[in-house]
Amino acid sequence: MSLRSDLASAKKVFGNIITSRRARGAVARRVRSIPAPAPRSIRIAVYFADAPVNLYQIRQWYAPLAELDKLHRVAIIARSPSATLALWDEAPVPTVHLRSITDLEEFVRQQDIRIVLYVNQNTRNFQMFRYGRMWHVFINHGESDKMYMTTNQFKAYDYSLVAGEAAIDRLNRKLWNFDVEGKVITIGRPQADHFAGTLPYTPDDRTVVLYAPTWEGDRPSAAYGSIASHGVALTDAVLASPRHRLIYRPHPRSGVIDAGYGQADRRIQQAITEANRRDPSAFHVFDDGPDLGWQLAAADVAITDISAMVYDRLATGRPILVTRPVSPDAEIDETGFLGAAEWLTVERASHALEEIDRVQSDEAAQRNLTFWAERHFGDTTPGVPTARFHAAIAQLLEEWDRHAALHSDDEESSESDPLDDEDDEAMPSGG
């Protein structure tokens, strides 16, 4: 069994190396046709060192970054060749591929970067942290009560932008000796200003149910995924109803660790295909597209796991059911919204239609949603979150100017480290 596992791991590593080399070749062929940002034009960079599997983390920032770019030039720094190719095709702001530390240092030298934004906690973020004459700002990839939202890694950044008072309370409660008041700025959820898009179906009198589960997680405390426990039963119930339409949007990492979880995901996809074959007017949707927003706005009821999707939906103020994890080891912070959420237990998954009807008609549940939406996001009036995001950036730029003046007579020293470089083939997950 051990030998078989070792052979499988070796095959995966070899495959990743081949994929990485092909991607590097594709980057080399295309890079000459990609316009480079003019020298000294970029003041705000978004650092993304991850592989394509985690592009969802930066995709949700596309629309807010496009708006910000109208005020201050923005560029994405990509380290993975495969991710770079995708970003060249879809990102609304320029992307530069900086695979090596030498490439990164040259870009920093050419530009006037004052703020670097980070959407995740990739270990390669530390290669960018060496630069001390710019603010390093964590913007994350969603609001939630998952343990990821209170990691001690927040302390590595100069500042963090968070959604609202609930996030402030979490950080004050969980992190020791962290200057929350001085280092954290609330901005709401600017993505909510862009929850729109073309529907893949014609709206009718069916109740639209969004089921957006997370992946299985890589540790017992983060085992929030419901596809294998709740998913098949609840989607079977929705697909069997002539009154409902299902939008199924699983996390892109679903099944990467647990093969059984991946099998349950594929079973749901097959069930959607079969349901549409039986009744083409149902137009149930399997959604794995890059755009997130229309699903949240279109659904009459959303069913999600404990993840950022809970809070993206909460920002709309519309009915939501949260799946209760079956693992006793899964950490659930019930001091915030989850303590008042409408839960869908595994025992009730096959009765999902009753729960869907209930949360739509329950006035107390609606009042509860309104309270927690304000608690997590503040003023959700369209346009206000974007204005708060821009104001936070303006505040940080002003603070940069103040410190630059204080240190104007300092002698500049090199911030490079010639020994700190790595080949992406040594990091198969990054290709």
Tens-digit pLDDT profile for residues 148-190: 788 899 999 999 999 999 899 989 999 999 999 999 999 999 9
Tens-digit pLDDT profile for residues 241-260: 999 999 999 999 999 999 99
Which residues, including other chains, have CB under 8 Å from residue 383's CB and lie 6 or more apart? 193
Helix axes 352-361, 363-377, angle to 10 degrees: 80
Long-range interactions of 9-16: CB distance < 8 A, separation 24+: 12/428, 13/428, 16/425, 16/428, 16/429, 16/431
Check residue 9 and give its pLDDT.
59
284-288, 304-308, 374-378, 411-415: which has the highest mean pLDDT? Answer: 284-288
Stretch 83-88: mean pLDDT: 96
The b-or-e profile of 296-310 (16+ CB within 10 A means b, else e) is: bbbbbbbbbbbbbbb
Look at residue 426 and tell me whether its pLDDT is greater than 50. no
Phi, then psi, of 419 in degrees rounded to 5 = -90, -10
Pick the CATH number of 207-377 from 3.40.109.10, 3.20.20.140, 3.40.50.2000, 3.40.50.2300: 3.40.50.2000
- Which amino acid, one-letter code, is at 406? L
Look at residue 104 and tell me whether its pLDDT is greater than 50. yes
CA distances from 190 to 9, 61, 345 (A): 41, 9, 31
Q: Using CA atoms, how far apart are residues 154 and 173, in angstroms rounded to an integer?
A: 13
How many other CB atoms are found less than 10 A from the CB of residue 423?
Answer: 11
CA distances from 60 to 68, 294, 345 (A): 14, 12, 29
Which residues, including other chains, have CB under 8 Å from residue 340's CB and lie 6 or more apart? 368, 372
Q: How many residues does the chain have?
A: 431
28: DSSP letter: H
Give the HSE-up count for residue 71: Cα atoms under 13 Å, Cβ half-sphere: 14
Look at residue 414 and tell me whether its pLDDT is greater than 80. no
Higher pLDDT, 166 or 10: 166
Look at residue 146 and tell me whether its pLDDT is greater than 80. no
Q: Which band of pLDDT confidence, cut at 50, 70 and 90, is reported for residue 16?
A: low
Stretch 272-280: mean pLDDT: 97
Check residue 19 and give its pLDDT.
75
Q: Using CA atoms, how far apart are residues 373 and 217, in angstroms rounded to an integer?
A: 26
Percent of the chain with pLDDT over 70: 91
Task: Identify the weakest region by mean pLDDT among 3-12, 35-44, 123-132, 362-371.
Answer: 3-12
Check residue 419 and give its pLDDT.
53
Check residue 97 and give its pLDDT.
97
Check residue 248 and give its pLDDT.
98
Q: Using CA atoms, how far apart are residues 53 and 50, in angstroms rounded to an integer?
A: 8
Look at residue 5 and tell me whether its pLDDT is greater than 80. no
Tens-digit pLDDT profile for residues 312-328: 899 888 999 999 999 99
Check residue 21 and give its pLDDT.
82
- The CA-to-CA distance between both ends of the chain, in Å, stands at 28
Residue 56, classified by CB atoms within 10 Å of its CB into exposed (0-12), middle (13-18) or buried (19+), is middle
The residue whose two tokens read 């979880």 is 261
Look at residue 211 and tell me whether its pLDDT is greater than 80. yes
Q: Using CA atoms, how far apart are residues 284 and 276, in angstroms rounded to an integer?
A: 6
Q: Which two tokens stand for residue 337?
A: 């919204």
Q: Which two tokens stand for residue 180?
A: 């929350």
Closest among 176, 174, 181 to 160, alpha carbons compared: 181
Check residue 411 and give its pLDDT.
81
54: DSSP letter: G
Specify whether the CB–CB gap between 122 and 50 falls below 8 A. Answer: yes
String of DSSP letters for 327-392:
-TTS---TTSGGGT--EE-GGGGGGHHHHHHHHHH-HHHHHHHHHHHHHHHS--STTHHHHHHHHH
CATH fold for domain 25-187+411-430: Rossmann fold (3.40.50)
Q: Which two tokens stand for residue 40?
A: 């000294």
Q: Where are the domains of the chain?
A: 25-187+411-430, 207-377
Look at residue 80 and tell me whether its pLDDT is greater than 80. yes
Long-range interactions of 368-374: CB distance < 8 A, separation 24+: 368/340, 369/314, 369/317, 369/318, 369/319, 369/320, 370/317, 372/166, 372/314, 372/336, 372/337, 372/340, 373/314, 373/315, 373/316, 373/317, 374/164
